Structures are given as structure tokens and as C-alpha cells.
Structure 1
Amino acid sequence: MTLDAWRLAVGTLSAWPVRPPRTVDRDVAGRAMLLAPLAVLPLAVAATLLVLVADAAGLAPFVTGLLVVALLALGTRAFHLDGLADTADGLTSSYERERTLAVMRSGDVGPAGAAALVLVLGLQAAGVAALAASDAALVVGAAVLLSRGTLALACARPVPAGEGSRLGATVAGTVPVVAAVAALLVWTALLVGSGLLVDVPWWRTLVAAGVAVVVLALLLLRARRRLGGVTGDVLGAGVELTLAAVLVVLS
């Protein structure tokens, strides 16, 4: 069952080819959400190494930021970015739930989705650029892991699934609250520790994690009111928004 959870986490959250899980039930889904940061650990390491190599090559910090954003998009098949665009389009399209869900399922990127992609990716690139300029490459990788660590919180048991969402129905409410909070504390501690290693004040990384949680909470509250709960698109949007929040605060 743990192997199925690992396969589900890697196959869903990264571009690495893995065998499909034999069984996907709510227990497997909950474990997969807890394993999410480990599933993208190679991607986080790659992002850190890219910052170091770009710095050694003398690239401009913002160019480095754009390259890291591109790496993360390629390493996840742009899955989370698709969720961000669909969520933005849906939540700005109508106040009627059925219409909102229909827009999110359409797959087309509208003005709101395009704007969300430009703004969020721009903020991420700028945040990475600031960290690259201050020789804090290690924090970039830790921020990637923390953003995936928030998935456990988004799938904690009080959070319902959005109407008609197969992925939402599979993962929503599958993670015990205690486990979700414990996981968040672990990845927050890693962010704080990585910051201390490169002379980033502990309080700044702690504030960054706190802001990410607030951003996620606001997104989940909005999704619950408009969609009935979380969907796959909302989870993807949560990953991108929390990563942007962490990087902006740390910049």
C-alpha cells in the first residue's frame, strides 16, 4: 500500500515515469499527499543546483529565476500551472457553481487564467532571482518542498471535495489533521534550517511559511464557497500560490 502511495505521488506530482498504482483508495491517496514533497525531491535538488550553476556561469539573477520556473514547469508537466489557470478562470467567470465548474473543466485558458500565470510565475522568478543574488540557493529547493507539503493541509479531513471532481473526491479529507500539521511543521523546519545555513534570518523563513498557509487557507475557503470543496485544479493552484508566497516573502 505504501508503494502504491509512492507511485501515486510521483506519477501525479512529477514528470518521472512510474508504474501506475495497483490500488487507489482513500488511504493510499492520503499517504500520497503526505509523500508529495519527497516525490518532488529530485526536482527541488535540481532547482537548487541550477541556481548554483547559473551563478557560477555569471547569469543575471532574473534569468536564473526564469530558468528555475521553466525547470519546475517541465518537471511537473505544467500540471499545477494548468490548475492555477483553470482555477483563476473558473472563480472569475460566474457566481453560479455549475458555470464555474464547467469553465474549469473546459481546459481553455481565458484572460484571468493567463493573467494569473503571468503574475504568479513572474513573482516566483523574481523571488528566485532575489535568493540567487543573495547566495541562498538552498532555500529555493526548500521552498519547492514546502509548497508541496501544503497539499497535506489542503487534503486534511475537514476539507470536502468539490462537486464532480474525481481527483478531489479521491484525495479530499484523506489526511488526518494531526498528520497534516506534523508534515507542515517538518517542511517548515527544513525551510528555516536551510535559511540559517545561508544566513537568512529564522524569523523570515518562519513568516514565509506562515504567509503560505494563509494564502492556502484563503484559496480553500474560496473554493469551498464557490465549488463545494477542493478539486485537482485547486490543489495545483495551491502549490503554485504557496510557492510564490514563500519566495516573495524571502525576497
Structure 2
Amino acid sequence: MLDSLRCALAFLTRLPVGEANFDGRDVGRSTAYFPVVGALLALLELAVLALALPRLGAMAAAVLACAAMARLTGAFHLDAIADMADGFGGGLTRERVLEIMRDHVIGAYGAVTLILALGLRAAALAGLASAGLGILGAWLIAASAWSRCASAWMGWALPYARASGQHGQKRLGAAVTDHVGRREVIVATSLAAALSLAAFACSLDAWALPLALTLGVSLVTVAAMARLCLRRIGGVTGDTLGATTQAVELAVLTLGLALT
């Protein structure tokens, strides 16, 4: 378990974990603990918000928190959502979509999507901050946990979209699709639910409805992304997995803002 947690930290963050020599099987199995890494990142981001809020105000603090998250993760999922937007927006055929997503240059679709995603995230954090750090922290932990759990769901449900000979993204996408099984999905879902329950129970008087709604919104978002990926490219890639993470996180944060 500790090795899997270290692998998850090494894969999802830029936090030091010591010497890391993990293969695709290790990465796939570590998805079970992705929600724990998500919760850890949420706590670190909450610390940034707590320090910045009294001095800078809600919006500036939220922007700094988004910058801190990008640094902690190496902008891992932000790059993914931009690549997916460029590919799905500019590609008319499956082959062209996959080709565009492999290109490191960000086009108009990717740039606009990235700006809107970061803007929505910062606005949601700023809005939740007005309700108090406890409520903000609860929704941030829930969003981070369920969004990382989404990788296990997607990897278990869909095949890898690229041909086996294309190794450019193979390690990122196929490591999940090839090695995620029922165990990883069950553990990841259970951990995400437990972390969300603990966060809501500590901060909200009524936690049952928010817990149920976060699960529902996460499942609906993943289902929509899975359907889109299956229809357009016949499966998932590392970029679409990362973009799904961002989509779920934004959906849960927006839900929290709507309920607050």
C-alpha cells in the first residue's frame, strides 16, 4: 500500500517521494489511492488560501491557490484539458484528433478552454471562501478526491485509444487502462466517499445530501466524458483522463458554490 501511495504521489504531483522506479503496472494499481493524493493536494491548497485570504481578498487568494496547485501538479491536468480541447475541437477524424492531442503546441480551442477552466475554478474558490474556510475546505477535498477517483473509473470502463506502436502517450494512458481492475475501482471509490464524508461531516450540519450529490455529479460527468471519448476516438488517452479529472473537479466545486 505504501509503495502504491508513493507511486500515486510521483505520478500525480511534483512532491518529493525519494527514488521512484515504477512501471505501468505500478501506476495502474496506484489509482486506488489517487483520491488520497487528491485530498492531500486540497489541504495544501487550502493552506495557501488560508494564508492569502486575510491579506489579499478572496479572488486574489483563489488565483494564487490555482497557481500553487499548478505548481504542485506540474500543470499535469491543465495541459491535458488544453490538448483534449484542441484535438476534439479541431480534429474531424479519429486519426486527426489523436494527432492534434500529441502536438505540444496549444491552439485556440485549448487556450480558450484553459482560460475558462482556470477562471471558473478561481471564481468557485473565491465564492466558497465567502462561506468560510471550513466549508471551502470540505468542498475542495471532495472535489479533489472524486476527480482523482475518476481516472480509475475511466480506465476500467474504456480501452486505450491509441495503437500499440504509438509510444508517445502510451505510458500515461495505457498504464491506467491496462492495469486498473475492479479492486482499484472499489478502493478508489470507497476512499473518495470516506474522505468526502469526513470533510462534510466536520464542516456541514447536513452532510448526506452534499455527499450524494457529489457522487452523482461525478458519475454523470465521467459518463458524459466517457461517451464523448468513445464516440470520437474509441477510448481514452492520457490527455482525456487528465481532462476528465479537471471536468469532475470543476463540476463538484460549481455544485458546492450553488449549494452554499
TM-score in terms of structure 2 length: 0.85
Moved more, 60-69 or 185-194: 185-194
Structure 1 gap segments, 5+ residues each: none
Hey, what's the Cα distance between the residues in 2 that align with 1:200 and 1:174? Answer: 40
Q: Counterpart in 1 of 2:143?
A: 143
Hey, what's the Cα distance between the residues in 1 that align with 2:234 and 2:19? Answer: 29
Q: Counterpart in 1 of 2:112?
A: 115
The answer to which structure, 1 or 2, has the higher relative contact order (CA under 8 A, 6+ apart) is 2
Hey, what's the Cα distance between the residues in 1 that align with 2:22 and 2:14? Answer: 20
Deviation digits for residues 5-37 of structure 1, max 9, x if unmatched? 3443222210123456445143x2322111223
Structure 2 residue 195 is the aligned partner of structure 1 residue 190: yes
1:114-193 correspondence to structure 2 within 5 Å: 114-135=111-132, 136-139=135-138, 140-156=140-156, 158-163=157-162, 164=166, 165-166=169-170, 167-177=172-182, 179-193=184-198
Hey, what's the Cα distance between the residues in 2 that align with 1:88 and 1:109? Answer: 9
Letter of the structure 2 residue corresponding to residue 236 of structure 1 = G
Q: Decide whether aligned partners of structure 1 residues 59 and 201 sit closer, same or farther in structure 2, where only a CA change above 3 A counts.
A: farther
Structure 2 residue 210 is the aligned partner of structure 1 residue 204: yes
Q: How many percent identity over aligned positions?
A: 33
Q: Counterpart in 2 of 1:218?
A: 224
Q: Report if the CA contact (8 A) 1:205-1:250 is conserved.
A: no
1:83-98 correspondence to structure 2 within 5 Å: 83-98=80-95
Q: Report if the CA contact (8 A) 1:54-1:64 is conserved.
A: yes
Hey, what's the Cα distance between the residues in 1 that align with 2:158 and 2:48? Answer: 36
1:65-104 correspondence to structure 2 within 5 Å: 65-104=62-101
Hey, what's the Cα distance between the residues in 2 that align with 1:204 and 1:41? Answer: 17
Structure 2 gap segments, 5+ residues each: none
Q: Counterpart in 1 of 2:244?
A: 238
1:229 is paired with a residue whose SS is coil
Name the Cα RMSD after superposition: 2.2
Q: Decide whether aligned partners of structure 1 residues 60 and 25 sit closer, same or farther in structure 2, where only a CA change above 3 A counts.
A: closer
Q: Decide whether aligned partners of structure 1 residues 200 and 231 sit closer, same or farther in structure 2, where only a CA change above 3 A counts.
A: farther
Q: Decide whether aligned partners of structure 1 residues 72 and 194 sit closer, same or farther in structure 2, where only a CA change above 3 A counts.
A: same
Q: Report if the CA contact (8 A) 1:48-1:141 is conserved.
A: no
Task: Report the Cα offset of residue 174 of structure 1.
Answer: 2.3
TM-score in terms of structure 1 length: 0.88
Task: Report the Cα offset of residue 141 of structure 1.
Answer: 3.0
